[in-house]
Structures are given as structure tokens and as C-alpha cells.
Structure 1
């Protein structure tokens, strides 16, 4: 089973479960939703009985399968849903297909289980390449199978804006598409495909995605990355930029100097957009506001922005960035949502105490954020950036660099033993990132995510991979086959998954991590006090 439960004991007696079986008890809907192919029916008594036990945590459960059928006790709806996912993994792979009239033996087993972390996430960048609603809903289904519960959607970047705005319609009319996309590798002479790329979600789409996710115990975390990464926004509304000049939606990758203005009209503009997002998504406890890779040159060069900074009593542009992000976090807090940021925002200082930090540049900066009293979600490039290739091989599809393997992910420790108890208490969980500069379609999403995301699921649920992970993963691939996932085979890509690009400019992930750690230490030493 993946993730493997905390306690799993074999019992001698077994039972039989058939499609159309009856499920009874307190949390019937959660169990039925977790086993869609079995066409379970509610009833007063049945082969599966579910009961709520308030003494258990919301996501905790106990499951017993034996001569009396299947008995589930759960702390809440999520616990019942996860118990049913574990029950599903006791059945043959074919049970993940719709098999009308089939019957399967459920081995006798007793399971007691609860997650180590509350945040078990996947990030999907839909700004660099857009993925339609059907692909997002499918990803939610796959997350649910693996007990992953946070879907971080990167909705805005230099290369595209991906959500309807009724207040500012040029965002989805202008900023949601680009005329072409760069196809060359990092550091190579630029070549382009000359094919327009675009798309966006309507607010109704977002409402549907959020409701679909909630039903499957997944929370959608939207990200609008500010004040940098703003080329697409400023292609639609240049008046909210630091210079007022019109930008183009970028057709290439890398860091752009395009930056939003920190002046009050821009804050009001962003708060209006947050209101639209929150209105569509409904119960959304988190909003990611980015704060990474910001080029502050245009702020420093603007007399109006400099005067505004001085009127606030701030000494530097870095302090102004910290003020700007805090003002947005305050607005979100007023609306019942916590701000989430990348680690550069923490290094700049001045965050609200309840802001969650994602330390992508390494767990060193994550530890400093935790020591400063911020909750953190482990997101380091190594081993949780899945835009890196799974192997240092010319057969791998084009990636930013190599290599992050399944074994690398499985060995990751999100709660290092040398951290203090207070620091460890700040670790909310784990999240893998799929940036999509070099992920142009849904088949490549499957290839990049799976089976590495299986290892993420176990680390996030259990705190580490448990015994026999490699053998269990090999067995689990049959379930992915039944679910139609075009994962990367453990032995390497299939012939049609291979690509042989020029490898000029390819970087090693460990070299990248060493440089990022150096950067965060340098930034920490010059961090202003706000």
C-alpha cells in the first residue's frame, strides 16, 4: 500500500466485496466517493459499515476486514475517505476500472492510521503552460488516491494569466495568451515554435474545481505571484506597473524586470482580484502571494515610489517590498485566509506572524523561518522540483536539469533530526513542485509527476518512506496503469516518451542547491529590520 499505514496487521479471516455492495453508517458519502468504480449503495446494514469516533483526529481512521465484512471507524469525513482509499488498495488493480458485477476477496487485515503532516501537496504551474479544467480534475482524483490534500495552482506569471476577472477583464482577454513559446534549452540561442498558446479558467470553472477538490478532501491553494513575475498583468493593465509602460506576455523563460507598483491603486487592484478568487473558490484558507525573484530596480528608479516609501518611513526598496506583501497578507487575513509566500519574502523580513513560508531554496532557510515563528511547508528544489529530469540520460525529455530520482524523493526528511522541537512543530508538511516551462501537455505532466509523487505521498503521510517502499511502488504501478496514468517506468522512458534534445546548458541539481544555499545566507546577512 502507498502510503503505507502506520499499523497494518494481517488477520486470518477474509470477506468478499462486490460491485453494488451496501455501505452503512455515519459517513457513507465519503466511502462511496473514494470507491467510484464499485457503485456502492447506501443502506441500513451492509458489507461496509462506517462509524464516526470524535476521539480520533479528523484524518485518522481504523479499518478491520474479516468475516463480518469491513468495519471503518473514522475521526471525520476525511478519515473515512482515506480508510476507503486504503480498502481500495486491498483489492485487485482491476477494481480501479469500472467492473460491473465483479467480486473480489478482501484479505483479513487490521489498520490503524493517521497522517504525520497536515499539508501533503502538489503544485502545478498552469501559467507557463495551461492545462484545461479536465486535467485539473483528473489530477485531483489521482491526489485523492494517494491521500494528498493540497493542490497549489500557480495561476499567474510572466508567461500568462489564467483566471477570469469580471472586474478587470483584460486580464483574461489579453494576458492569458502569448504569440509563441521558446523551445530551445537553457543558455542556448533562442528558438521559438511560432504557435500561439493560451487559456484561462472562468470563475465558474474555479468554483467547480474547488468543490470537486473539497469533496475529495483536497484544498485548492491559488497563487497570484507578486510583485514580480508581472509581465502578463502589465500587458493588460500597464497603469499598475512601476513605470506605466506596456509589457508583452513573455514568450521565453527566466526572470523578468517587470514589477507591479506598490502604490495604493495597485494594492486595491490586487485586493479586488483576491475577492474574486475567494468568492469563486469558497472555503479557501490559503492564498499564495509569491514574493520570489523580484527585481526592484524600477522601484528604486521611480521618484513617485521613492517618495511613497519615504512617507512610510521605510529606508530601502527591500523594506518596501516587505511592507507591500504584509499589506496584502493583512487584506487576506481580514477575509479569513492566510498568506503563503516563497522564502525570498521571509528573507526580506516584515511578514505577518501567521504567514506560511515555502523554502524552495533549501531547508536551511526553512529552518530560519521556523525559528522565527513561521509555519513552513518543505518545498526544496532538491528533491521536490519535478521539472528536473528523473535521470542524467539523453533519453529523458527536455528538463531544466538533472537528476531527481524516485529514490531521492523517498529519502527526503522533511523533519530533520537536528531541528529543535519548536522548529519541528512549525513544519506543516511537504509539497512537490511541477514548473511547466518544459512540460507542454498532460502526457508530460503524468511522466514528470508519477511515480515520484508516490514517494511524496508516503513521505508526507508517514514523515518518511516505510519498509519495503521499492517493492510496494513496483506493485503500485499496476494501479496507475488501471487509472490510465502515463508515468515514467522505473527502468526509464518508453520509446515514445524519449526525446534527444541538445544538452547544452544542462545543470546539475546539486550545483543549483549549493548556489541557492549560498544566496540565502548572503541575503540573510543583509536582511533589513522592518
Structure 2
């Protein structure tokens, strides 16, 4: 006894350690904590409990044991087996035994809202309660996110731990959508289903399917077989950049295209319905209809033969003839078949970018305007849309269209999809109409995820940040008007997206941000926290074998410097990413040096940088070349005159090398680098030539964005080469200049479809700015 008591002082420190420092959490429970804190979209309310439970292996369904509820149980079990390698079994007709299980409980009055749910994890297991099957489905999506994907669960040998908690959740908006253009490039049925799966896992509920456009008709219409026999095919130009040429199908040459049969449509619609996603079809009218007019040219104003063009812009296409009753009989037949195929309450009719000049010249259209007392072609478009709305209303459908349907007066029950900024949605809401917000400058996910010009100062997530920062309800609307904003949607136009892999890369992870701004409360938004959650969410995207964008490292670019060396800093994205780099000409891999702090580089060094996930997947590799520059000596100019000399040319042009074949039309001076206002709309060129006067010795960086091509020489050195037909994208070049005059030459041309020339300079004594008139001489 004395020996036992004498040992107590020795054991006391261990008792104290046990009390003060409880046993460390296992890696599996730490993972459960992390997953519960990484949900996307963020729930309305998440209340953590104390402790953990093992994932039950039994699914119990009550009190509603309908076939739909049983199907949801089967969906849960099948997904757990196929994606997570976990085996669950279902009980749907037996009393609840009280054992730990996953309970799916659906019935009226269980929770407010059609899509809301409550998910509880406690000693009884996992319980998902909802008023409808929609809510049960969204609760299941949240449960999936709480379970580690197989590669995260390697050490756990089958047991999955869940953190105890209660989640109360429902969406902010009823319209949480994503669009896909299958006209510009066609995508197979299997990918459409995968696209729907991406939406479903993010609790999005509308798939806007852009089925027809100038470049291809993609839906089978039984009454008009030529729509797909002819209108679904065009010359195969996929080996060339998307252009604005007009390429008829030539016998014997390869063709490109495809379409969905009506059986395909039914299969996809059912697949989406089982994931509580409404498929909204879009049948473009009155413009963007060349594919249909290719098949049935009698529906145009001219009646002339057409062809499907892979890149022609809408200004060069013809609309349906609004004065021809055959047009409306044709569209009524088409919309009748479409309405039967799609249970969606909405049919999207396009209505955007309609070239109206053929109507102005058309005898039938002018007669229609006279008969209907229409004062303008804008009112004729409104007449067209209103007549189509009557066709849809008669079939129990609602009309939705792009914001151009506001022009000339809005159809009585139409819903507006606002893409040219927010103005269309604001105007619709103030007129008492519903609207869906999809402003192109934020929610057109066909825009690049990043550009080199932005990455000089930004990290690789700036485009994601723009999406996350967007709020679908414009601040100028009253509370009553804001009630007409149904939600928001992203759009993927596919002019420059040919494959499923490219489509995935364009939308992810921006779709993740979109899902949160349409589901979660505005006051819960936190961008820094979202990025941390996204880092773990990539593992969930891997379950679907998706090709997603990983943020690139920013904060650096090609750099010229004075002296023997300079310092490079790299912006590391928020999260748990590692940045690795090389200086030996090889692309970095998981064994390359890890960036931890700024470092020195020397002339002719080449830096290659990539951002890595723990899985080993990495971002695209960014490359920067460093060069020490010597000052270019200034020119001795004794008789310089103010202003830059400008020569204007006209003629067909598609490259700067065509200048020699163009006609010179005028010669004048300007005190800025800009497009003068007295030029023709298209097919012109400009040559700016003279001298630039810089105020001090040092490095000068020139920035230029042009639509279309441009080239810049300074001090007889080619700094920027942006030749070709393209939209504005900023390019830059740096040169070391001695104080004084230096030769300056800039060539620019505009082919068609918009023009633009932005030119700026950054020097040792001033930031990025336009050139002043004191700098330009000849």
C-alpha cells in the first residue's frame, strides 16, 4: 500500500497532461473538420456540434416512400459506391430501427421553401429533412461534400468520420443558371450530361441550352428535316483560329457539325430532371438565324441562297422576314415540337443582335409595318416578339429573351435576360417584368481566366474575384423591384472553345463562385474565405475528372532592367498552393525549387513558374525573360515640328503586310495616338510616323490594345507585334531610352466588326498614361 501511494507523485504529471492536453485528433477527424468548413456554396446557417460519428452504412427513407424518394436513395448509394468507394444499403419500407443510419425524410411542412433542407449529424446518424424531393437532393449534395474523396482518405481504410453539426439551408434565388452554346461548336450528348452533373453538385438548377445560331442548327425538328440535314453542317475550319470569313460547304471538303435527335433531347431532359435541373432551350430569332435560312431561304427577306458560316458576325447575317406569314407558320411548327420536348416553363427565343437593314428594304416588311401601324423597325421587332409570345403562351410556356427584346416595347409576359450590363434587367424590373442577370463583362465565362497583361500586378484569380464580387440585384432597385430579379446565370459561348476539356477549363472554378452568389446570402460572402474553401473543393472536381483552371502565379512578367541584376517577386494565390520554379529552361515539376521569398535574376535568365496542388496537378506554366538593356541614344533633330504624322489608307486588308496594296487617302498630323473620327467604318489602315520625345534617361514601357492588327517600333526597334484580325487585348514592350527624341512608327488596321486603338506609356518619372502632345513630333 505504501508503495502504491509513493508512486502517485510520479503519475500526477501524466494525469495533468491528459486533462490539460486531450489526445490529439486523428488525421481523419481533422479532415472531417476541414471538409465541414469547405462547403461550396456556403450554407445559410451551419451550427457545429461536439464530436464525430462514423458514416452509417444504412439509408432509411420515410415517411414518403414514393418512387422518387426511393430513386434519391438509390442515387445516394450509387454515387457513394462509384465515386467514394463506400457501400450503403437502402431500407424504404421498414420501420426506423433507431440504429445509426442516413435518414431521408420528406413531406409537407418539414421546412419552408421548395429547395430548402436541414441536415443533421448526431448520434442517430445523418438526417436530411426537406419539404420536397428537391430539398432532399440538395441535402445529399452537401453530404457528398462532407465525405473525403478517395485520395484524401488513403489512411482511413474505409471508416469515414463526420463532424457533428446542423445545417439549415435554402437558396437566395430561384434561378441559378449556366448556359452552353452548342452552335458555334458541337458537344456530344455524354458531355451535356457531365455538364449537368457539374451544375447539380453546385446546387444550380437551370441549364440554358443554346441550340441554334448562325453557325449551326442542333435540334431535330421532324416537320423540317433540312434544318439538321443542311443547317447542322459547315466547312470544317477547326484547324484555324475562329475567324469572320464566310465559308460555304464545298463538295468533297471535310464538313463539321452535328445535332441532337429528339430521343437525345428526351434522354438529356430526363437526366437533368433527376438532378432537379430545368433545361431551357434557346431557338434564336429573328436574328442569328442563318443556319435555318441556309435550309429554308424562302424565310428570309431576299429569298436568296445562304450557307452556314463558321465565323460571320451578326452584322453580316439576315434575319427571318417579319413580313412573311410563312415565317410565323414555320416558327410555330418549330416551337410546337420544342415545347413538347422540354417541360421547362420557359422557352428562350434569343431576340439579340438582329440586323434590321433587310427589313428596311423588304417590301413585305414595309407592308407589315404599314398594316400594323408600326413606326420603326424596332417596333417591327417588338411585333415579331409579341407574336411569338402568343404562340408560346398558347402552349403553356413563358417567353424569355436577351435584353434587346425591350426595344420597341416589351411583350406582355416576357422575361428579360440582361447581358449588355445591368440596364436591361433594371428596365424590365421597373416595368414589372422578371429578369435574369448575366452581364457579359462579368458572367460571360467564355472570357479568358487570365491574361498576361493583368498578371503583371494581379494573382491568377482576378477573373474569379470579379464573379464572386458580383451581386445580381442592382443597388438602384427598390425592394419591390428587386423581387423581379429571378437570379443570375453564367454563359459559355464557344467560338473559341472546341472540346469538352476546353469548356470545363473555361467555366471552372468561376462556376463555383457563381453558385455561391446565387445560393448563399449576400451578407455571408467572404472572398478570402471562399478561396480557402475552393482549395479543398478541387478534390471534389477531381471526382468528375474535370479539367479546371488552377490559378497561375502573378506579380511578374518579362522584365528589362538597367544594371547587372534585378529582384523578382511572385504573387502566391491564397490557399495551400505551392509555387515552384526553374531557371534551367525546363518546366517546373513537384521536385523543382519552391518559391518562398524574392530572389535575384540576371540578364538573359529565363524563369518558369507553376502553381501546384497537393495532388500534383498544376497551373499552366508562366515564363518570363529578363534582360539588361543599354540606353538607346537619342536622335539629333534640329527642325522637329509638333504632332505625329498620320497616313490613312483604305482597301481590303487582313494583315499589316497588306499595306502596300492599299490606297493612300490622306496625310495629316495629330497630337495623340488615336483613331481619327473622319475614317470609314471598316477596311482602313493608319501609319503613325515621327518622333517621340522622352523627358529623362530610363526604361520606358509601351502598352497597346488594338482591334484589329497593330505593330509598334520605337528607336528602330520592334516592341509590339499584334498583327491579324482580333479583338482588343493589351500587349506591351519595354526599351531603354536616353533623354530626347527617338524615332516612332505605329501601323494599325481595322478589317470590320468594331475598331479600337489604345496606346499608353510608362516611364521613370510617370506611371501608365496616354502620350501627351508635348511628346509627339515629326
State the secondary structure of the residue aligned to 2:491.
Answer: strand
The match for 1:140 is 196
The match for 1:524 is none
Does residue 48 of structure 1 match 2:102? Answer: yes
Q: Please list every run of 5 or more consecutive structure 1 residues that lacks an aligned counterpart in the other structure.
A: 397-401, 510-514, 516-530
State the secondary structure of the residue aligned to 1:107.
Answer: strand
Does residue 486 of structure 1 match 2:533? Answer: no
Give the Cα separation in 1 of the matches to 2:168 and 2:461: 36
Instruction: Tell me the alpha carbon deviations over residues 54-95 of structure 1, each in whole angstroms, 9 at most, x when there is no partner.
Output: 232110011101111011110211100000101111110229
The match for 2:58 is 21
The match for 2:728 is 507
Give the Cα separation in 2 of the matches to 1:74 and 1:95: 31
Q: Tell me if structure 2 keeps the 8 A contact 1:124–1:154.
A: yes
Question: Among residues 222, 226, 230, which one is paired with 1:174 in the alignment?
Answer: 230
- Give runs of aligned pairs for residues 72-91 of structure 1, distance below 5 A: 72-91=128-147
The match for 1:372 is 431
State the secondary structure of the residue aligned to 2:514.
Answer: helix
Q: Tell me if structure 1 keeps the 8 A contact 2:416–2:424.
A: no
The match for 1:358 is 417
Change (3 A) 1:278 1:189: closer
Give the Cα separation in 1 of the matches to 2:507 and 2:233: 25
Give the Cα separation in 1 of the matches to 2:332 and 2:89: 45
TM-score (norm 1): 0.88
The match for 1:30 is 72
Q: Please list every run of 5 or more consecutive structure 2 residues that lacks an aligned counterpart in the other structure.
A: 1-38, 82-87, 554-609, 611-616, 624-720, 731-753, 755-778
State the secondary structure of the residue aligned to 2:259.
Answer: coil
The match for 1:236 is 295
Q: Tell me if structure 1 keeps the 8 A contact 2:297–2:304.
A: yes
The match for 2:478 is 420
- Give runs of aligned pairs for residues 110-509 of structure 1, distance below 5 A: 110-181=166-237, 196-255=255-314, 256-262=316-322, 263-281=324-342, 283-352=343-412, 354-393=413-452, 405-464=463-522, 466-467=525-526, 468-491=529-552, 505-507=726-728
Q: Tell me if structure 1 keeps the 8 A contact 2:219–2:260.
A: yes
Give the Cα separation in 2 of the matches to 1:498 and 1:394: 15
Give the Cα separation in 2 of the matches to 1:382 and 1:102: 46
Give the Cα separation in 2 of the matches to 1:498 and 1:227: 44
Q: Tell me if structure 2 keeps the 8 A contact 1:51–1:72.
A: yes
State the secondary structure of the residue aligned to 1:211.
Answer: helix
Does residue 94 of structure 1 match 2:150? Answer: yes
Give the Cα separation in 2 of the matches to 1:159 and 1:499: 34
State the secondary structure of the residue aligned to 1:408.
Answer: helix
Give the Cα separation in 1 of the matches to 2:239 and 2:481: 42
Instruction: Tell me the alpha carbon deviations over residues 370-389 of structure 1, each in whole angstroms, 9 at most, x when there is no partner.
Output: 10111010100121001111
State the secondary structure of the residue aligned to 1:143.
Answer: helix
Change (3 A) 1:476 1:258: same
Change (3 A) 1:418 1:251: closer
Deviates more, 1:303-312 or 1:287-296: 303-312
Change (3 A) 1:34 1:174: farther
Instruction: Tell me the alpha carbon deviations over residues 77-135 of structure 1, each in whole angstroms, 9 at most, x when there is no partner.
Output: 110000010111111022999xxx94411211100000000000000000000001100
CA shift for structure 1 position 433: 0.3
How many matched pairs?
499
Q: Tell me if structure 2 keeps the 8 A contact 1:371–1:422.
A: no
The match for 1:518 is none
Q: Tell me if structure 2 keeps the 8 A contact 1:35–1:84.
A: no
Give the Cα separation in 2 of the matches to 1:41 and 1:269: 52
The match for 1:60 is 116
Give the Cα separation in 1 of the matches to 2:453 and 2:388: 44
Instruction: Tell me the alpha carbon deviations over residues 385-425 of structure 1, each in whole angstroms, 9 at most, x when there is no partner.
Output: 011111112899xxxxx997111101001113332112210
CA shift for structure 1 position 507: 2.7
Q: Tell me if structure 1 keeps the 8 A contact 2:551–2:619.
A: no
Give the Cα separation in 2 of the matches to 1:447 and 1:102: 32
Q: Tell me if structure 1 keeps the 8 A contact 2:48–2:166.
A: yes
Change (3 A) 1:268 1:188: closer
Q: Tell me if structure 2 keeps the 8 A contact 1:127–1:156.
A: yes
- The structure with the largest alpha-carbon Rg is 2
State the secondary structure of the residue aligned to 1:30.
Answer: helix
Greater share of residues in strand: 2
* Structure 1 vs Structure 2 CA RMSD: 2.9
Question: Among residues 82, 106, 109, which one is paired with 2:165 in the alignment?
Answer: 109
Give the Cα separation in 1 of the matches to 2:78 and 2:132: 20
Give the Cα separation in 2 of the matches to 1:186 and 1:128: 10
Give the Cα separation in 1 of the matches to 2:247 and 2:223: 36
Give the Cα separation in 2 of the matches to 1:322 and 1:436: 28
Q: Tell me if structure 2 keeps the 8 A contact 1:177–1:196.
A: yes
Q: Tell me if structure 1 keeps the 8 A contact 2:418–2:424.
A: yes
CA shift for structure 1 position 30: 2.6
CA shift for structure 1 position 347: 2.8
Q: Tell me if structure 1 keeps the 8 A contact 2:301–2:359.
A: yes
Q: Tell me if structure 1 keeps the 8 A contact 2:215–2:311.
A: yes
Deviates more, 1:156-165 or 1:301-310: 301-310
Q: Tell me if structure 1 keeps the 8 A contact 2:244–2:312.
A: no
Instruction: Tell me the alpha carbon deviations over residues 235-254 of structure 1, each in whole angstroms, 9 at most, x when there is no partner.
Output: 10111111111110012142
